[in-house]
Structure 1
Amino acid sequence: PKTLLSHLDIKHTSHKKLAPFLKGFEKDGILKLKDVRGELLIFSVDTKHPALVEAIKWGWKTVGAEERKEKEREKEGTADGSTKEILVEEVWFSDANTDGFFEACGESAPHYPLSSLRPLLNKYVTGHNLQHPTNPKFVVLDEVLSRALLRKGENEKEFVGRDELVDRLSGNMKGMWRVGGTGNFKKLPLHPVNVQTKTRQGRKVVTLITGFEPFGIDPETLSEELRKRCASSTSVSPCVEKPKQLEVMVQGSQIKAVTTLLLELGLPKKWIKVSESSVKGKGAGKTLNLNLTTADDVRLGAWFVAADSFYQKHLRLAPPFKGDSANLKEKRETLASLLPTALQDHPTILFFHGNAMTRAFHLRTRLYSTLSSRLNANVLAIDYRGFGNSEGVPSEQGLLLDARAAWDWLIENGAKEADITVVGQSLGT
């Protein structure tokens, strides 16, 4: 209709449901649809269709225009300082074993951020000539370092790896956290706000937010704002797993809306953990959860999805027949043990996602399933540093190292270069 409406409710139209609504557009030649395992997917849109061209003239908004406006709002918010980021401090207090080290360094601060420990260690090692004489990856221990770095039962150690220094020193200190810059410090760990989707009552998807209390985020404010933004019902209730905590629930898969709101409320991106447990197309044993390590020692989260025919042949567990061993499941091989075979028998798609969301975004998991079944290919999907459950901070150079780590992992586990196809989306290109 040539009218500008704030919203349309399909239930209150003659279509009643989304499928007939979309099929009407397909009949008009605007959309191309495909039914994939009972899910109706939109494969293409004719952006030059007269109906869409006409709609733009009547002031209807496009997704691209909305995204551009959103970016402009973010820039304005950063420029005028309207979004004040919540100050989250993680610091380490010296203990009896480490006091001597800080005194030797001429330091007397009440506490230290983790980033300050490595420069102090490097300065001490260089100043006291403690580099290993034949292997620069190791450091010789003097009396001060032995007391500061060694754990119980390690008194006989004469040297340790240079890459262990910070972990060992901080491990012998008291890790504490504080939010807001005032008040008393509390003992680490401080867990991030958890945003996850779950399937309830069959195919009903909800988004749950927990762990926001330490950051001073009001659950009622969060719930009310999400109700307006998502046009969905919300609620606040005790968390099932941890009754002392509260849980905000919003109907539907609303990961992007929730993360955007949390960022607007000042929560640093580092303290938002996103996970989607309502993933389809991941049969039991078909997907391998991985941790890859980059050349600069950053750990990345990743998934390896086996080609569908490989899964059906080697990994799928059919119901046991009468007389079969009760331990049949235990005797079947796992994807981890058959990984080289999967890489040698099938091509592999190395997938690099876009700037928004993570590898667990529901549209991406559907894509992995489609690629593994339609193309009969394995899929390796990673989260860049700073995304999802990957460590580190995003950067252009870091992105290249992350991509290289994924490629090297495939080659090291038996894939041939000619069998790997790199697929990038937006940032991933």
Structure 2
Amino acid sequence: MGSISRSTAENDRPSSNGNLQPNHEATDDADPPAPNGHSAGIPSENDGPRKRRTPGLLPLEVGTRVMCRWRDGKYHPVKVIERRRILSGPNDYEYYVHYTEFNRRLDEWVKLEQLDLDTVETDVDEKVEDKATSLKMTRHQKRKIDETHVEGHEELDAASLREHEEFTKVKNIATIELGRYEIETWYFSPFPPEYSDTLKLFFCEFCLNFMKRKEQLQRHMRKCDLKHPPGDEIYRSGTLSMFEVDGKKNKVYGQNLCYLAKLFLDHKTLYYDVDLFLFYILCECDDRGCHMVGYFSKEKHSEESYNLACILTLPPYQRKGYGKFLIAFSYELSKKEGKVGTPERPLSDLGLLSYRGYWTRVLLDILKKHKSNISIKELSDMTAIKADDILSTLQSLDLIQYRKGQHVICADPKVLDRHLKAAGRGGLEVDVSKLIWTPYKEQG
């Protein structure tokens, strides 16, 4: 159990349950990838030679494609990922389905009555395709590989991606209770085997121990003396607080945090050695204690200048600017260290979007205020942003030219204003005067 890494933007999307709520994977303003208004048309017979109509075939086989009624009352195409018997007859199954138009986090168990059996299709050649993968990349495989760039695991080849999806295809925990929130989970998380038959877990919001039953949590809360994460408070501004937790000193907490975070992060690696990581836990504080909003982790020592390994805003707190705050906070720590920083690669598309937004706002603010010429190196020294990230950001904005062997920044005020407006709001500000922190290399 350890630090989740290999992701770098946050899941700032509202929960699909509507009353609550990360790559590391989405921006503060990203809309949820939920079904929304697609027509409930029946798939065409001309969709391709791979599909064969098989109406009335019960129980449905894994791999079957069919239209399913979602919670919006509309029908959407799904693929049956798994099935399980709930009674004794052929109709007495429920099916775990993937909505093929949308992110895997919406996968769920559905009853037979939610499926339109007149639209049943099966992929008759799917096994043949799997056998041919080493010889030819099919259009289906290319699409799956393209999707990995959206989901943030460019490091996985097609075979590894299929293995990952097979192992994690069914969510093992449906909901969790954390403090005053009940939260629908998004993805599989590798909890110990004794929790494999548990649909709901109850977390202590302060020490992050998890239990199977509400009664266990209530007994635990009478004994747990923590009212905040078990680390040093390094930032307090108003009701916001940040705690630094050393994975070596607080191993169980670090492991539990990673189990929890994996429920909202898809293609991420769960490392079982948390000793190498520091966890920065952002909290909202009231008279009951400090309640976790989100976190980011970073390696204690990174040869690649990574200043952030994994980032997540918990679902109840998304779309409030906390993701941008966490990114900004990671750079303030880099400034204190006297180093430049960059998020751990690979970045998902949404991760890049989050960081590109931050880099854009910071750099354009400086360029607007700076009257004379300024170099990439000077910008890097001022912001702690890696020179490569500055260069790629300015190039994406067409604000840089290559003249006489060097890069020249073109900072027309009207162009800067236009880009700043497009970049959107900057989120919550980090009050650096409230940050009291000693870099790890100088500690103890």
Same fold judged by TM-score > 0.5?
A: no
Normalized per residue, which structure has more helix? 1
Which is bigger in relative contact order (C-alpha 8 A, separation at least 6)? 2
What TM-score comes out, normalization by structure 1 length? 0.25
